[in-house]
């Protein structure tokens, strides 16, 4: 089902003005296609809606959702900052020419190598996860002191999958606001040589309830007041994380991003006044929202199989190696038979990959027109956590990534080759 209302011409799906048959012909399959204009439009919607007369605001793209050098350039052109969680992401950003002052370095176990790299390249902000990490950073910094945020858990429950919930008091990320030791950590950070900005909190991912964000903002601000009073410190920045839900199937209600931004801004303005806080700047870190709906994965059908018990399989030329979220999170997707868009979707199929793993499913139970060999299957909403989670399981080659815009297409990541596969053996 074409839930995102893509253009259809001559019975064929069109992505960013380019027909799927021409994409498949030029770039082969499996193929990650990203509509650049959708990404830019999402950035603009955030820029317009995440603004306040009371606070400065900054939008930080969570690069783990999808990162390549071209993506860094796009983010740079759109004026967003970048959140990285590893040496590899940080290196990619710097190699692509992003000003390191716009990088936020995250992670619950940053290595010495990563911290040294961040210091050497003058990464703007490090988000401190725990005391060990802060002590390590303190021992490494000699002449450059990045700004620091401290990641805290307020315990706000986001209604989402267990694996993508992050702010509980047993989370592996950050420190709990209920721990006495958290005050000690804040005190050390705030009285160090590093500029201490404030707190970071991220409640989870693929969240649809705006009320979760109101609760999150309220709790972050209440804790800010509490910490300021108790420790006689000043907090000027709050980073509220990401997690805004996108549409994978018709069952996902499509909460406009503007609604989330309105709730965050209004709650923050209200609470700032009520508590008499002096917060100057609010940050958000969306990943999925910016890229998910811009991405479509194209596959070709190799064969179909009807099982003894009556299941109808469609086998595609990709797998869990390029599409892991179904196996990992029981995530659901929608898809279309992209070369037969006008035909009736009357046959129930399960789309499976080619990996040697029974859990290698792309979509369980989806109605499609009758599928034949070489038909093109388009799986929607695959721009986030697909290319970035791709592996070489079964020694499968990672697909190419193509950007499309206004009728043109260009390779931003080449398809892997057999030589690539052996490079480090």
Ligand X SMILES: *Cc1c(COP(=O)(O)O)cnc(C)c1O
Residues annotated catalytic, as ranges: 356
Footprint on residues 25-84 left by ligand X (CB under 6 A)? 62, 64-65, 83
Give me the phi and psi of 200, to 5 degrees please: -120, 140
- We find the least distance from the C-beta atom of residue 383 to ligand X, in angstroms, to be 11
Nearer to ligand X, 46 or 279 (CB): 46
- We find the least distance from the C-beta atom of residue 318 to ligand X, in angstroms, to be 22
Closest CA to 401 of 338, 324, 284, 322: 322
The yes or no reply on residue 383 touching ligand X (CB under 6 A) is no
Nearer to ligand X, 146 or 243 (CB): 243
Nearer to ligand X, 243 or 399 (CB): 243
Binding mask 267-306 for ligand X (x = CB under 6 A): ------------------xxxxx-----------------
- Scan for tokens 């027109």, then name that residue: 369
Footprint on residues 135-164 left by ligand X (CB under 6 A)? none
CB atoms within 10 A of CB 85: 19
Alpha-carbon dihedral of residues 210, 213, 214, 218, nearest 10 degrees? 170
- We find the least distance from the C-beta atom of residue 151 to ligand X, in angstroms, to be 7
Of these, 202, 271, 354, 415, which contacts ligand X (CB under 6 A)?
A: 202
The yes or no reply on residue 205 touching ligand X (CB under 6 A) is yes
The yes or no reply on residue 165 touching ligand X (CB under 6 A) is no
Of these, 106, 354, 398, 415, which contacts ligand X (CB under 6 A)?
A: 106
Q: Can you name the residues that pair with 401 across neighbouring β-strands?
A: 32, 413
Phi/psi zone of residue 214: left (φ > 0), alpha (ψ -120 to 50 degrees), beta? alpha
Footprint on residues 166-185 left by ligand X (CB under 6 A)? none
- We find the least distance from the C-beta atom of residue 65 to ligand X, in angstroms, to be 5
- We find the least distance from the C-beta atom of residue 257 to ligand X, in angstroms, to be 11
Burial of 183 (0-12, 13-18, 19+ CB in 10 A): middle
Binding mask 230-259 for ligand X (x = CB under 6 A): -----------xxxx---------------
- Binding site residues, ligand X, CB under 6 A: 62, 64-65, 83, 106, 202, 205, 241-244, 285-289
């Amino acid at each position: 089902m074409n839930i995102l209302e893509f253009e259809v011409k001559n019975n064929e799906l069109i992505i960013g003005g380019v027909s799927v048959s021409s994409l498949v012909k030029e770039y082969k399959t499996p193929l990650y296609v990203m509509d650049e204009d959708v990404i830019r439009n999402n950035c603009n919607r955030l820029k317009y809606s995440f603004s306040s007369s009371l606070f400065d605001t900054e939008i930080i793209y969570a690069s783990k959702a999808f990162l390549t050098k071209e993506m860094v350039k796009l983010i740079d052109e759109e004026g967003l900052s970048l959140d990285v969680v590893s040496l590899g992401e940080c290196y990619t950003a710097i190699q692509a020419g992003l000003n390191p002052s716009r990088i936020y370095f995250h992670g619950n176990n940053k290595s010495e190598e990563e911290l040294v790299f961040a210091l050497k390249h003058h990464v703007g902000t490090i988000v401190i996860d725990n005391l060990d990490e802060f002590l390590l950073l303190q021992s490494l910094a000699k002449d450059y002191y990045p700004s620091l945020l401290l990641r805290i858990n307020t315990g706000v429950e986001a209604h989402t999958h267990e694996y993508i919930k992050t702010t509980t008091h047993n989370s592996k990320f950050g420190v709990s606001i209920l721990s006495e030791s958290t005050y000690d950590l804040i005190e050390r950070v705030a009285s160090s040589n590093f500029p201490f900005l404030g707190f970071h909190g991220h409640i989870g991912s693929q969240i649809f309830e705006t009320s979760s964000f109101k609760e999150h903002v309220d709790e972050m601000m209440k804790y800010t007041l509490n910490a300021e009073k108790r420790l006689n410190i000043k907090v000027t920045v709050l980073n509220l994380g990401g997690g805004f839900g996108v549409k994978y199937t018709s069952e996902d209600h499509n909460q406009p991003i503007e609604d989330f931004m309105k709730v965050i801004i209004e709650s923050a303005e209200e609470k700032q006044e009520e508590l008499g806080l002096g917060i100057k700047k609010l940050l958000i870190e969306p990943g999925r929202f910016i890229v998910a709906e811009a991405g479509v994965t194209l596959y070709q059908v190799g064969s179909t199989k009807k099982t003894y018990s009556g299941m109808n399989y469609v086998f595609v030329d990709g797998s869990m190696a390029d599409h892991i979220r179904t196996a990992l999170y029981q995530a659901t997707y929608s898809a279309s038979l992209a070369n037969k868009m006008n035909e009736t979707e009357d046959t129930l199929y399960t789309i499976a990959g080619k990996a040697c793993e029974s859990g290698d499913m792309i979509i369980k139970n989806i109605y499609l027109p009758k599928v034949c060999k070489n038909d093109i299957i388009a799986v929607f909403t695959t721009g986030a956590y697909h290319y970035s989670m791709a592996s070489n399981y079964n020694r499968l080659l990672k697909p190419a990534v193509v950007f499309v815009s206004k009728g043109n297409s260009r390779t931003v990541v080449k398809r892997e080759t057999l030589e690539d596969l052996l490079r480090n053996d």
